[in-house]
Amino acid sequence: MILKINGSFRIGNLRRYPPETVGALRSALLTGVIAAADPHRKNFYDLEAGDNIFYIHLSPTGTVLLLACWRREPAQRTIPAQAPVPEVRAYS
């Protein structure tokens, strides 16, 4: 699915990632990013943006909690690039 957030939102940076990392997440969410829902946790997602994988929680209050971020290997995709029917979820 593609996850996109419309309007302004706050990112909770729980692990104190550098501002560049938080900025990359914000940019990805504003433009739309490939996302996979965590099958075990409601409102938790893996996002693939460039060489970064983000693990986030979308809280009911509209805050995005950045829980983890890591670099993916260039030849490895953790989230399928092609979904049978792309779904876009936009949050305001």
19-66: per-residue pLDDT in tens? Answer: 999 999 999 999 999 999 999 999 999 999 989 999 999 998 889 999
All structural domains of the chain: 2-72 (3.30.2310.20)
Check pLDDT > 60 for residue 7: yes
Whether the pTM exceeds 0.95: the reply is: no
Q: Rounded to an integer, what distance in angstroms lies between the CA atom of residue 21 and that of residue 66?
A: 10
DSSP one-letter code for 28:
H
Number of C-beta neighbours around residue 58 at 10 A: 20
**Residue 67 class from Cβ within 10 Å (0-12 exposed, 13-18 middle, 19+ buried)?**
middle
Asked if residues 11 and 26 have their Cβ atoms less than 8 Å apart, the reply is yes
Task: Tell me the CA distances in angstroms from 34 to 14, 41, 61, one per residue in order.
Answer: 22, 18, 22
